[in-house]
Chains A and B, each alone.
Chain A
Amino acid sequence: MSIRKKITSKPWLPMLIWIIGIILVWEIAATIVSVTKRTPENVLPHLYQIFGQIFSTKAVSSGKTATMLVLDSASKTLFRAAIGFITGTVLGFVLALIMKISKLAEKTIFPYLMLIQMVPILGMAPIILSITGDINTSRIVIAAILTFYPVATNTLAGFNAVEREKYDLMYSYAASKYTIYKKVLIPYSIPYFFTGLKISAPMAITASILVDTLQGDGGLGSMLSQSLKHAMSIYVFWLIVFFSAFIGIFSSYFMGFLEKAVLPHKRKTKIKRKDDAV
């Protein structure tokens, strides 16, 4: 095989070229914008300008550099998002379990589970804030509600996807209900559960950032809105946009990584039709 063929057959090559292409398009657009617009840094700054901020030592707000500021507020936001995410995950899993155990509960709750996704929870953020009274609690509640729905529906889909034969086998062993759940249903539903987690992890972060914008006590969202109002350098805004995009993507990948860590036997085989339950 020639060297050229060796390089072109690498699986990561198309990915690399796509990313280079996107960066090129961005830079060309940024160059056009910088000539034509009055305030190019508001519309589309050059990438090096944004990432230059990471290494700049100039203080943007209260003696902190842009990187320190972003990381500081990100740690606050992410911590709250994580608590809400974990709460929602546990609740979602337990609810799915309850719905599997009792047909009655499933029939009663499931239509409302469908309705919950119609309720604009993010739009309701201010209301939840006024009910709970505390910004931190409301952040956790909102992140939990957003997490809860995909986890519950996907896990339930996993429970319901268990084939008849598996039950028959367990019945022939005279297995108790507890054993069936422990040995068959719960292990079977775990990949579906992780599909739910992959969907809800970025949502929990979005929720946490959005709630930040409501009240200024630090966090990515409040920095975002302050920077938009030109209370500090606009590059902080761009840095936050990139950073939140990155953690959104990363959180989803992190769930995939966890899945692989928990389920070694899933590393090769792909689960098909897994998103159908959403």
Chain B
Amino acid sequence: MSRKLKRKKSLWYRIHQNEKVQSAETVLLPLLFGFLFMIMWQTQKLHTLLHTDTFTLPLPSRILTIIADNSDKIMLNVNATVIVTLAGLVAGSLIGYGIAVLAALFPKWGSCGLKIIAAFNAIPIVALAPVMTNWTKDVSNHADIRSMVAKIMVVTIVCIANMSINAYRGLTELKPFSEDLMCSYAASKRVTLIKLRLPNSVPYIFTALKVAVPSSVISALVSEYFAEYIVGVGRQIRENIVLAQYSSAWAYIVVACLIGIIMYAVLMIAQSFMLKKRA
């Protein structure tokens, strides 16, 4: 606060307060940090820091070459993972939203049911994945189809809890008096649901998805470990490690990160479109 008493603001302070400089900083600083990190990685400074070698932690250039060289095979695995992730995400979110609507309509039983679903959320994926693999043994005679169903079911369960809890909050935490207003219109339960509760829950849906997208990618990767059929980015990471091909494993790790980042970016764009009208 003593700064304000000075007659002249220092140049450094004035630069720092400039809005353009501030917005530039938000973009440039992380970029600079990432750039430094990559340089440290490429020049093997990171390796000395972590006491490791280029065999277990290959250079970025080497990882990129591997991705470029094996793009066909990688795309095959990416497809498998993305299908599982998206199918599970969509199914889980829809079911979760349905549960939330039911819970909002019958709050006495619903809120308790949600508590149980929230408890399901804490079940480790590693416990779920093998169970699902066992349950889907008879779905199909083809190992690829039945293990895909098992993986989708794991992702679905992970998403259901998250979506239903958030959507329930969106459906019930209404603006003050808005419910009374609907009541004074003598609006039926159905109309209140459609005109008031459903629109109110849209931002909460995005809150849920922001958590669900990364966690569904990760649960897809982990459930691949326990699946019968050997396909998918997560499984390839593991298979390559077992074969001690660390650079290929790293290539799949980078790809897995990219899947997550791209899906998150798509979600963010969708959110800015959907919520634009509300601002």
Distance between Cα atoms of A275 and B264 in the complex (Å): 18
* Interchain Cβ contacts within 8 Å, total number: 145
Q: Is the CB of A111 within 8 A of B253?
A: no
Q: Is B186 an interface residue (CB 8 A)?
A: no
Q: How large is the interface on A (under 10, 10 to 19, 20 to 34, 35 or more residues)?
A: 35 or more
Q: A119-B260, A120-B217, A123-B218 are in contact. Are A206 and B109 (CB under 8 A)?
A: no
Q: Is A47 an interface residue (CB 8 A)?
A: no
Q: Given the complex, which residues of A lie within 8 Å of B138, measured CB to CB?
A: 37
Q: Is A272 an interface residue (CB 8 A)?
A: yes
Q: A244-B127, A276-B207 are in contact. Are A120 and B218 (CB under 8 A)?
A: yes
Q: Is B97 an interface residue (CB 8 A)?
A: no
Q: Given the complex, which residues of A lie within 8 Å of B29, measured CB to CB?
A: 104, 107-108
Would you call the interface of chain A mostly helix, strand, loop, or mixed?
Answer: helix
Distance between Cα atoms of A121 and B257 in the complex (Å): 10
Q: Is B30 an interface residue (CB 8 A)?
A: yes
Q: Is the CB of A249 within 8 A of B30?
A: no
Distance between Cα atoms of A122 and B210 in the complex (Å): 19
Q: Is the CB of A107 within 8 A of B26?
A: yes
Instruction: Choose from A109, A127, A213 the contact partner of B249 (Cβ within 8 Å).
Output: A127
Instruction: Choose from B112, B115, B124, B210 the contact partner of A278 (Cβ within 8 Å).
Output: B210
Q: Is A53 an interface residue (CB 8 A)?
A: no
Q: A120-B217, A120-B253 are in contact. Are A245 and B109 (CB under 8 A)?
A: no
Q: Given the complex, which residues of B lie within 8 Å of A3, measured CB to CB?
A: none
Q: Given the complex, which residues of B lie within 8 Å of A121, measured CB to CB?
A: 218
Q: Given the complex, which residues of B lie within 8 Å of A241, measured CB to CB?
A: 127, 130-131
Q: Is A18 an interface residue (CB 8 A)?
A: yes
Distance between Cα atoms of A206 and B123 in the complex (Å): 8
**B-facing mask of A122-134, CB < 8 A → 1, else 0?**
1110110011000
Q: Is the CB of A15 within 8 A of B137?
A: no
Q: Which residue of A lies closest to B214 (CB)?
A: A117
Q: How large is the interface on B (under 10, 10 to 19, 20 to 34, 35 or more residues)?
A: 35 or more
Q: Given the complex, which residues of A lie within 8 Å of B196, measured CB to CB?
A: none
**A-facing mask of B202-226, CB < 8 A → 1, else 0?**
0000010011001001100110010
Q: Which residue of B lies closest to A22 (CB)?
A: B116
How far in angstroms is the closest Cβ of chain B from A6?
16
Instruction: Choose from B52, B119, B126 the contact partner of A209 (Cβ within 8 Å).
Output: B126
Q: Is the CB of A124 within 8 A of B33?
A: no
Distance between Cα atoms of A209 and B57 in the complex (Å): 24
Distance between Cα atoms of A206 and B126 in the complex (Å): 7
Q: Is the CB of B126 within 8 A of A118?
A: no
Q: Is B5 an interface residue (CB 8 A)?
A: no
Q: Given the complex, which residues of B lie within 8 Å of A218, measured CB to CB?
A: none
Q: Is the CB of B237 within 8 A of A18?
A: no
How far in angstroms is the closest Cβ of chain B from A27?
16
Q: Given the complex, which residues of B lie within 8 Å of A109, measured CB to CB?
A: 30, 33
Q: Is A210 an interface residue (CB 8 A)?
A: yes
New A-B contacts (9) at CB < 8 Å, excluding given A42-B137, A127-B250, A276-B207: A118-B264, A119-B253, A120-B237, A120-B253, A130-B241, A202-B122, A209-B127, A210-B222, A278-B207
User: Can you list 18 A-B pairs, Cβ within 8 angstroms, ordered by A?
Assistant: A14-B113, A107-B26, A107-B29, A108-B29, A112-B34, A118-B217, A120-B218, A123-B221, A123-B234, A126-B237, A127-B56, A127-B250, A131-B50, A171-B1, A209-B126, A221-B126, A240-B127, A272-B173
Q: Taking beta carbons and an 8 Å cutoff, which residues of A are in contact with B?
A: 14-15, 18-19, 22, 37, 42-44, 104, 107-112, 114-115, 117-124, 126-127, 130-131, 171, 202, 205-206, 209-210, 213, 221, 224, 228, 237, 240-241, 244-245, 248-249, 251-252, 272, 275-276, 278
- Top 5 A-B pairs ranked by shortest CB distance? A118-B260, A206-B124, A248-B122, A14-B112, A126-B241
